[in-house]
Amino acid sequence: MAVLRQKQLVEVKHKFSNRLRNWLPILHSNLTDLEDLIKPLVEENPLVEIVSGFEKRGVKSNLFFDYGDNSKSLIQKESLYDLLSIQIENSSLFPTPFSQKIALFIVQNLDSDGYYSGDTLNYCLENSLDYDMFEKIRKRFIFLDPVGVASKNLSESFLFQLENLDIQNEKIYRLAVEIIQDISNIYSYAQEKFFFDVVKIISKFSNPPAIEYQESSPAVIVDLFINFNENNEIEVRLNNEYYPIVKIDNEYKIKDKYIKEKFKEVKGLIDALEMRRATIYKVGLMIVEYQYEFFSGGKIMPLKLQTLADEFGHNASTISRAIANKYISCDRGIFAMKDFFTTALEEDISNDTIKQFIKELIANENHLKPLSDMKLVTIINNKFNISLVRRTIAKYRKQLNIAGSSDRKKVYKLNLR
């Protein structure tokens, strides 16, 4: 894979001539806008006919991905609320007004991803309710749709979804539970006999659990498919289906000066389109090489845009624009290309490194005096010799689904009783 990629990268460098640099907007454009971009370039060229990939194939092709039906966008959150409310009202899981009241409180305190983010301790105190009883009712959501909703974090969501599967092989099931409970270190289990069986199971889980009910983003067309084949080998494929097709009328005499110039323009356009294909494909190969762990079920590793830029022989800003608004479809879902490049904080320190450090600090903190965000800022800045602000640490903490220090202190007290 590495040898093939290196050879193709060399070819890309040679082809990227000064003439083609004028067509950089074609590389930067996403597939949705590509056709509109090149139309003005050929409107006055009698040699060219553009065949639309969209008109030929239609938007209902399975190569066209939409994050949600536009007709549902305006009622997305209400739809999830209604769906769960109906299930709560009609399910034997919540047979009493008491249990239904708690269940509805849980629904009202779901975040946009479908995770429960309510203040359980305060609710229990206000309603003279035992914390364990509350948790028992919350965990009945394991049997509701969408599966995984009302879980507290990614691992619990995956456990909810695992329990809804009929896995006959007990060893696969036990390994799945173990891996899910240690999901951040999933790749450390790669040598286990049933590792890839578990990865295939986990890759089909909804992440986040309410992804189908989130506010829809604009429809996108993926540029690349990265999947494991039946031989468990990873493959990178371009989505060529939506590229505009450029047809040249050869009836004109090439000797004519005007026609000769127009032919040169067409040739440049065709070369630019091929250059776009080649560059995106090489980016895909590099992503696979550096992020193989992710496609195998692990986490995204720190990868700088400069690393790509150095191999392509261009500056990082060019590569940044080249991957902007472009998407990859893989066994784990659809991801923006930029997601595979971790934002660097300082040299080799990534935001993922900081997040992992925050998790470790909080996991080992004094339960009687939990670390505040300001204290975390001080420790992290001293540890990594950087200058973060409290707001950034608070954002990372929330992304990790970790409560603030005051809420953590309440939970610790409750668990100590």
Residue the block writes with tokens 């050879």 = 7
How much of the chain, in percent, has pLDDT values that exceed 90?
A: 18
How much of the chain, in percent, has pLDDT values that exceed 70?
A: 81
Residue the block writes with tokens 């009622």 = 75
- Rounded distance between C-alpha atoms, residue 164 and residue 82, angstroms: 22
pLDDT of 106 > 90? The answer is yes
Kindly give the pairing relationship between strand 245-248 and strand 344-346.
unpaired
208 preceded by a cis bond (ω within 30 of 0): yes
Query: Hey, what amino acid is at 289?
Result: E
Higher-confidence residue: 184 or 192? Answer: 192
What residue spans of 127-256 are helical by DSSP H?
A: 131-138, 154-163, 170-181, 195-203
Domains of the chain, CATH where assigned: 2-66+219-340 (no CATH), 73-213 (no CATH), 346-416 (1.10.10)
- Rounded distance between C-alpha atoms, residue 2 and residue 209, angstroms: 36
Residue 65 confidence class, pLDDT cut points 50, 70, 90: very low
| Predicted local confidence at residue 323, as pLDDT | 86
Most confident of 26-35, 164-173, 303-312, 342-351: 164-173
- Could you tell me which of 54, 49, 133 has the C-alpha nearest to residue 99? 133
**Tens-place pLDDT, residues 295-329:** 887 777 777 777 787 787 777 777 777 888 888 98
